[in-house]
Structure 1
Amino acid sequence: MYYSAATILVVLGASYAAVPMYRAFCSATGFAGTPMTDPSKYTADRLIPTEESVTNKRITVRFAAEASDMLPWKFTPQQKEIKVLPGESALAFYTATNKSDQDIIGIATYNVTPGKIAPYFAKVECFCFEEQRLLAGETVDLPILFFVDRDFLDDPSMRGVDDIVLNYVFFKAKHDRRGQLVPVGVQDGVDVHDISTPNLVK
């Protein structure tokens, strides 16, 4: 009986920890096309742009946006693309408008393509996975500060990669029984990374 109770407690504890641990793993490794959010990458020497040359051309970062069918928001990037050098930080903006007559909470997930660029795509500041409450009819600007890590240049598998798509998808959100913010319509305990939709990139 004691062993059964202990097993149940361990399984429950693991299930509660699985989502934040998986999210941290994705952010630290770039798994599943998740851009890096490791603060150790933000040292001063990493944020110095490399010199442009024949072998080190600017990388085109394109921006895509989509709102789920359950979220009556208009969600668009303010710029189509930005060209950056490895190590060069860049600021981009998205715009979200609540088209309904009710206040709504949204939450965004994201990914980058090609997926292999994810370990080198670092976000310094981002609105993803944070509660975004928009009043009825309200419009807000959502910033993202990012850079492509300088180690990108030393990876042979990155040769020929000069075009990146950063895709954000906004979902209507609610608080689950643990108090965590989750997309509406997603089963409890499923991480939003698992439902990212690269096919929505336009």
Structure 2
Amino acid sequence: MERDAGKPAPRTAGRKGIVIAVACAAFAVGMVGAAYASVPLYQLFCQVTGYGGTTQRAEAGSSRVIDRTVIVRFDGNVDGDLPWTFQPNDRQVTVKLGETRETSFHVKNNSDRAVTGQATFNVTPNAAGVYFNKIACFCFDNQTLQPGEELDMPIVFYVDPDMLEADELKNAPGITLSYTFFRVDDPDESVAAAPQTGTSTDTTNKL
């Protein structure tokens, strides 16, 4: 009887060991998957919520325009490693909420060689990001300028009238859209690391 009672014990311990091993493996796989998914999930979170001043992407203009205006200011910056001049052609514009507006930035390569740059952006106040919609933009596209080349890069946008429903924005405070260009030393590698980035200078429907 004592031997019979003792026989199941090794099998029970074995089953527990297998369960623990499977659980640990699943946890490890989950952690790796989370690590790979964290960047796109964070980008999606920012786009949906406007977190950190992230703007929204729109395929077309707003279907609603109201007789309430907001001042939109533009700011252009260049990292020290990039030999470019970059500035807005309009320092600020006054637009109606829901009105589609186009403006542009002027950029020039001051060096004697071709250089590639890429722009990041943000909107302040941060809470306005979820209401700032870009229909066309050069941001996050690799831009390659030849020696001495200069061009105007347009953006098309509108500010959603729903902004007035947010307590901190109901008085339609001024909005600042700020860009910073950084040098891209290996454009091909940059594209491979960030699938949402293109090498084309086509500015249609870019966020």
TM-score range, shorter chain: 0.7 to 0.9
Structure 2: 5+ residue stretches without partners: 1-20, 196-207
Give the equivalent residue in structure 2 for 1:145: 156
Give the equivalent residue in structure 1 for 2:74: 63
Secondary structure at the aligned position of 2:57 is classed as: coil
Name the CA shift for 1:68/1:164 in 2 (closer, same or farther; >3 Å).
Answer: same
TM-score by length of 2: 0.73
- Do residues 95 (structure 1) and 106 (structure 2) align? yes
Name the CA shift for 1:157/1:134 in 2 (closer, same or farther; >3 Å).
Answer: same
C-alpha displacement of 1:11: 4.0
Q: Is the 8 A contact 1:50 1:86 kept in 2?
A: yes
Q: Give % identity.
A: 35
Match of 1:48 among 64, 69, 93: 64
Name the CA shift for 1:102/1:13 in 2 (closer, same or farther; >3 Å).
Answer: farther
Between the aligned partners of 2:46 and 2:93, the Cα distance in structure 1 is 25
Give the equivalent residue in structure 1 for 2:170: 159
Give the equivalent residue in structure 2 for 1:77: 88
Between the aligned partners of 1:10 and 1:102, the Cα distance in structure 2 is 46
Secondary structure at the aligned position of 1:18 is classed as: helix
Name the CA shift for 1:71/1:7 in 2 (closer, same or farther; >3 Å).
Answer: farther
Match of 2:147 among 112, 132, 136: 136
Give the equivalent residue in structure 2 for 1:25: 45
Give the equivalent residue in structure 2 for 1:35: 55
Name the CA shift for 1:178/1:102 in 2 (closer, same or farther; >3 Å).
Answer: closer
Between the aligned partners of 1:3 and 1:85, the Cα distance in structure 2 is 56
Structure 1: 5+ residue stretches without partners: 183-202
- Tell which deviates more after alignment, 70-79 or 148-157: 148-157
**Two-structure CA RMSD over aligned residues (Å):** 2.5
Q: Is the 8 A contact 1:47 1:88 kept in 2?
A: no
Which structure's residues are more often helix, by fraction?
2
- Tell which deviates more after alignment, 18-27 or 87-96: 18-27
